[in-house]
């Protein structure tokens, strides 16, 4: 049988000291040191701000600080978002020109031609409960359905 040995205090590991959080009030990297053309290019290709920072080899928190409102690059970031919105607007227009009705309707609501008025939804003063069936169909802009032809076959009394 193997001989059992006792562990002594010198062979036991000492517990690690507790970690204390470090608060950094000043940026680690100056916003001037961030490669903004690289980050902007990545953003325009669809990357998130954090993904763009990682592609550029910059700490994402530094980029986040710089693009936050009032940050050193807030205006550049807003201009980039405006370009991205323009891309979406262009895609909407292209789909409208391809004949997609939903895109056409949305485009015309978003950018009505000069002189066009956008119809507004007015609150109805109709009492829907008192309208006849014909009036209801008329209000919906639909033709009134024809009544089904009644069949007398098989209804003779025996």
Report the C-alpha gap between 89 and 107 in whole angstroms: 9
| Per-residue pLDDT tens digits for 59-78 | 899 899 999 999 889 999 99
| Per-residue pLDDT tens digits for 78-120 | 999 998 898 889 999 999 999 999 999 888 888 888 877 756 6
For the chain, what percent of residues have pLDDT higher than 70? Answer: 71
Residues 10-15, mean pLDDT to the nearest whole number:
63
Residues 119-142, mean pLDDT to the nearest whole number:
74
pTM score of the predicted model: 0.49
Token pair belonging to 47: 């990357």
pLDDT at 78: 93
Structural Rg of the chain based on CA atoms = 35
Give me the residue spans of the domains in the chain. Answer: 31-114
For the beta carbon of residue 96, count every other beta carbon within 10 angstroms. Answer: 19
pLDDT at 24: 45
User: Is residue 26 scored above 50 in pLDDT?
Assistant: no
């Amino acid at each position: 049988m193997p001989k059992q040995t006792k562990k002594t205090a010198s062979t036991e590991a000492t517990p690690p000291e507790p970690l204390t959080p470090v608060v950094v009030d000043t940026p680690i990297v100056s916003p001037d040191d961030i490669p903004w053309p690289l980050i902007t290019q990545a953003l325009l290709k669809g990357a998130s701000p954090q993904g763009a920072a990682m592609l550029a080899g910059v700490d994402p928190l530094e980029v986040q600080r710089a693009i936050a409102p009032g940050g050193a690059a807030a205006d550049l970031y807003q201009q980039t978002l405006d370009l991205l919105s323009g891309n979406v607007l262009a895609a909407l227009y292209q789909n409208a020109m391809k004949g997609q009705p939903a895109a056409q309707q949305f485009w015309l609501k978003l950018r009505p031609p000069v002189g066009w008025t956008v119809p507004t939804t007015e609150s109805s003063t109709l009492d829907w409960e008192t309208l006849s069936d014909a009036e209801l169909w008329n209000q919906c802009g639909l033709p009134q359905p024809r009544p089904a032809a009644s069949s007398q076959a098989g209804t003779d009394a025996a």
